[in-house]
Amino acid sequence: MIDDNWDLINGEAAHAIEVLNYSNQVNVIEALVRLLTHNHGIDEKGCLVGPNVNVLREFHRTATLFLLHHPGEFRTDQVHVATQDGRVVHMPPSHDEVATHMTRFFQLIEAQWREADAVNIGAYALWVVNWVHPFKNGNGRSARAFCYACICLKIGFFLPGSPTVIDLIMQNRDEYQSALKVADEAYAATGEPELGPMIAFVGGLLVQQLSTVPVTPSE
């Protein structure tokens, strides 16, 4: 799907840049996992520290470089999520609430990191970034990268297998959108997202990715 909501360029040329940026983003995720596991260590609960807000900003910067005027910066205007026919399906918080939501999110990540399950925290991150929509554009790309980074760090290494969870999310777009909708509607009604479908979705994709890794027979 071609995104025609960029600042600097659109159409097929923009899509070519998106593909190049995605390759760079995957390398940045692997570099992050290597950095944090080397500098902070791992144990049976994974890397001892989780990613912070600067990581999210860098994922966005990498994904939207040469596409947006201000890659990696939180938005300063209201945005909405709409279908191709113009139907609005999500109205994120006002731009002046973004910093507060992001601060709360990263405080929770830090507080729960050590005891969190890899899939659960990845699914939660995937929903939060999509719900807040902290950037002008490129939020989905940033959310998927951050979700995957959380999973890799909690497991303790950059995961093998292809296609990755990031790729598989977009290959299963309908189920992805459905899980986001369930979480959004529950949050609007109760103040708490219903993440069951998202956790099941992300967990299934992780199994699918790892099932592609060749198994070396034991001698």
25 is in an annotated binding site: no
38 is catalytic: no
Tokens of 110: 């830090």
86 is in an annotated binding site: yes
Instruction: Count how many Cα atoms sit within 13 Å of the Cα of residue 216 in the half-sphere of its side chain.
Output: 2
13 is in an annotated binding site: no
53 is in an annotated binding site: no
Can you list the alpha helix ranges (DSSP code H) found in the chain?
12-40, 53-64, 98-112, 118-132, 139-155, 165-171, 173-190, 196-210
90 is in an annotated binding site: yes
132 is in an annotated binding site: no
Q: What is the dihedral of CA 191, 76, 63, 118, to 10 degrees?
A: -20
82 is in an annotated binding site: yes
Rounded to 10 deg, the angle between the 196-210 and 139-155 helix axes is 70
Active site residues: 133
Q: Which residues are annotated as a binding site?
A: 81-90
Q: Which residues are annotated as a binding site for ATP?
A: 81-90
